[in-house]
Amino acid sequence: MANSYDVIVLGSGPGGYVAAIRCAQLGLNTAIVERENLGGICLNWGCIPTKALLRSAEIFHYMQNAGDYGLKAQKIEADLEAVVKRSRGVAKQLNQGVAHLMKKNKIAVHMGEGTLTGPTSLTVKGEKGEEKLTAKHIIVATGARARDLPFAPADGKRIWTYRHAMVPPEMPKKLLVIGSGAIGIEFASFYNDMGAEVTVVEMLDRIVPVEDHEVSAFLEKSLTKQGMKILTGAGVEDLKADAKGVKAKIKDKSGKVADHEFTHAIVAIGIQPNTENIGIDKLAEMDRGFIQIDDYGRTKSKGLWAIGDCTPGPWLAHKASHEGVTAAEAIAQELGNKEVHPHALDRRNIPGCTYCHPQVASVGLTEKAAKEQGYDLKVGNFPFIGNGKAIALGEANGFIKTVFDAKTGELLGAHMIGAEVTELIQGYTVGKQLETTEAELMQTVFPHPTLSEMMHESVLSAYGRALHI
């Protein structure tokens, strides 16, 4: 049958399209269903286009501070329309890249709204009408969307989600950012660098609350120094928008409520899984809209799998891609492939990155979490100011922190803040995956001059052996 496959993937984000490619690599007849753009939120409205925006803001920041590098630059201006155009061009290029990968791997693409009619069947409603598809296995990878404030849904004019913030109708003069997770802080950083007056409201007692407490404190101090206003332990009680701007009632940590006015607001308070109206409810166990799965992506229904942001967190693109590969290999194994050996995802080894200025990156347990789990610790900390390359780059603010099990030398966690740390964290991630101890890290030769030398020094610091501080 033309519409019968070994595997159908519902959703083409970084989880879905990677799962489809891996299935095809394993010789499975594979199809993918997408209702909007190949590449999903990440490539079109998330991870990649936001980094293009942040890159423009970073260069603008350097140009404004050219004198720090012995250079002169005059009449520096930002063209927001051109910045956004570049970002959309990057997204389009990657979307076309995914289409090429589907063709290269002979994956059938069905554009339209997919709805499950059973564990191994679904319908697709597209421009050409409705078609029925069946498969031996289906992987649900429908992702998630921004969660609205219940009393003030985004209108795209004055109250924005991340999608609106990536294609702004105008440059905000006075911006309220509600929520200080990765999305909120990245947009706060972008618009602050572009010249907006930014206020961040976080209901918890510190910003980027999933990070180590020392990282949170350092980032708050840095962003405040850049001109941002940070309100922690605070909440937005009411938010109303009109043609002129946004009026907010904000309760501070003392319980006092005050009126504030802004030109725009970005709501970044979490995500909502895209699992409504796709026929999943009776086929899988659900918790607050998220599909419950085992360590390989299986749901309670045989033949039905789920990966990515529509399943429990952390909600990260690289976690979704890894789950996609795992599910694909587990499916191939069930279909008789004896050459594949899927491994369950170890959530302790999933790195997280926030691309603000300065950048933040981490993997594993924070110092507090490790103590709460009963570990006796060795903790290292090395500052950027002690690194020659950081000083040469003019980026001497930040630090790298490592957390070890004092009894075994196991690397429990690593936490970084500073220039390019999102490119450094994978070194520690590989180390954790290989179950590296402090001994192997100490004996590793790190190239000079590089920022990576701080990774070595942080390990040495944990054992009282730091050389350059």
* Active-site residue list: 448
Count the Cβ atoms, other than its own, within 10 Å of residue 346: 11
For 18-68, give the DSSP string: HHHHHHHHTT--EEEEESS-TTHHHHHHSHHHHHHHHHHHHHHHHHHTGGG
- CA end-to-end span of the chain: 69
Distance set, CA 288 to CA 138, 141, 195, 220, 275 (Å): 22, 17, 38, 31, 10
Q: Is the peptide bond before 150 cis (omega within 30 degrees of 0)?
A: no
Task: Using only the alpha carbons of the chain, give its radius of gyration.
Answer: 24
Q: Which is it for strands 174-178 and 197-202: parallel, antiparallel or unpaired?
A: parallel
Instruction: Residue 415: name the closest of 468, 368, 469 by CA.
Output: 368
CB 326 within 8 A of CB 395: no
For Cα atoms 326, 102, 32, give the angle at the middle one, nearest 5 degrees. Answer: 65
Q: Which is it for strands 286-287 and 290-291: parallel, antiparallel or unpaired?
A: antiparallel
Q: Is the peptide bond before 314 cis (omega within 30 degrees of 0)?
A: yes
Instruction: Residue 457: name the closest of 430, 432, 424, 435 by CA.
Output: 424
CB 148 within 8 A of CB 161: yes
Give dist(CA 13, CA 42) in Å, integer. Answer: 6
